[in-house]
Amino acid sequence: MSASNKKMSFHFLKTIGFIGITGICIMSGCTVANLEPNDNLVPKTTNPLTGPGNASRTIPNSYIIVFKENVKYRNNLANVKAKAVALMKDNGQLETNIYFYFGHSILGFAANISKTIADKIATDSEVAYIEIDQVITLEGSPSSEPIPVKNSTAPVEAIPPGIMSVGGYTEFNPKDTTHRAWVIDSGIDNHPDLNVNFKLGFSVFTDKFGQPDKLDYNGHGTHVAGIIGATKNKDGVIGVAAGYPVIPVRVLDSTGRGCTSAVIAGINYVAEKGVKGDVANLSWSSDLSTALDDAVLYASKNKGVKFVIAAGNNRDDANLYSPGHINGPNIYTIAAHDNVYTKPAFAASFSNFGRPEPIDYIAPGMSIYSTYLVSKGSYAYLSGTSMAAPHVTGLLLVGDQVDTKGEIVYLLVSYPRAYKRNTLP
């Protein structure tokens, strides 16, 4: 977390076309059907998640249009929508081709249009840039196959080593209404070991009744939520911020897939609904994307919500990935170390790296035991910087800041080891 809002500079024409992730959601989900063009001016493509465009992970004929900063559009969905619809109609496009509006993070919209139309829209004086939408997945995790652990014996509550490594747990104070975790991920299961606020949640996917489906069918989001806030209830596990509310912001499907615009829709929702003291957890990474970076930067400034970001599992420079490479007063990028607390720790060999920027702390991320899908055993072990980040999310919930306890050397560079600062009443 840099004291400045410095971020790597990019050089673009007004139309941008490279890899990334991305609202106020006006459609029910970021699905193949939604992402296919549906006007007469753009030919239908094959499945954009598996078709020819997937070589670069871009989604054919799907673009994110970003407006210049303007008080007229900031936090004003009606004005954003009016401008977006006007731009589409002026270029012979249908309003129904718009699948997201953004008014609280970046300003703009996402739509199914051809590159020719995107280039025309880019010439509008109020458009800052346009970026092609892209696929985002949870692939690349060092532990893509979770190890389920059925809690079939007499209930025994465990404090996982990772929780102990960051200073143990702190129980939730019911009088605290300003410290909640927004899990921007694959949803959260209806798990007895979690205090899930489904009512405040968000999803770009719908159930069979057409309602937002915030449940987790992958397991990743539930595992992250347990590290943050599994309750102290004499069963299962205990999280860093035990019993603190976890809110599902579902932007990834059952296979761990989503798209840039859907992710930004989730970030945009947190920017609208979050309050100071809240923490958003982003346990995924993407190739560089200006739209995604700008969404996190604006959202982290909007109401003081903190954003904790996984550094990535590529054993590569974290400066090469979004959104983890950005810096700001409320942005934390987290690398991973092994799951120990009684002996010297070592960095995880898969973790991305980068000091002094962008990585702020290193936290447990190997063989982490946490909540999982109830239908698949309720608990499981997973590894990744995806697991390291929620340890720090929990620390920020219970202390508003993060202390350190020693350092871990990784590729000849020292990284501060995250530890609890319990400053809340």
Residues labelled as active-site residues: 185, 220, 386
Tokens encoding 65: 């249009």
Residue written as token pair 């080891």? 417
Of 84, 138, 134, the residue nearest 106 (C-alpha): 84
From residue 90, give the alpha-carbon distance in Å to each of 83, 93, 364. 10, 7, 52
Q: Per the omega criterion (within 30 degrees of 0), is the bond before 356 cis?
A: yes
Contact status, residue 16 vs residue 132, Cβ threshold 8 Å: yes
How far is it, in rounded angstroms, from Cα 364 to Cα 227? 10
Pairing between β-strand 257-259 and β-strand 127-137 as defined by DSSP bridges: antiparallel
Residue type, position 304, single letter: G
- ∠ CA 295-336-325, nearest 5°, is 30
How far is it, in rounded angstroms, from Cα 196 to Cα 222? 10
Pairing between β-strand 359-364 and β-strand 368-371 as defined by DSSP bridges: unpaired
Beta bridge partners of 138: none
String of DSSP letters for 59-113: EEEEEEEEEPP-TTTTT-HHHHHHHHHHHHHHTT--GGGEEEEE-SSS-EEEEE-
H helix or E strand, kind and range, residue 217: none
Of 247, 227, 217, the residue nearest 370 (C-alpha): 227
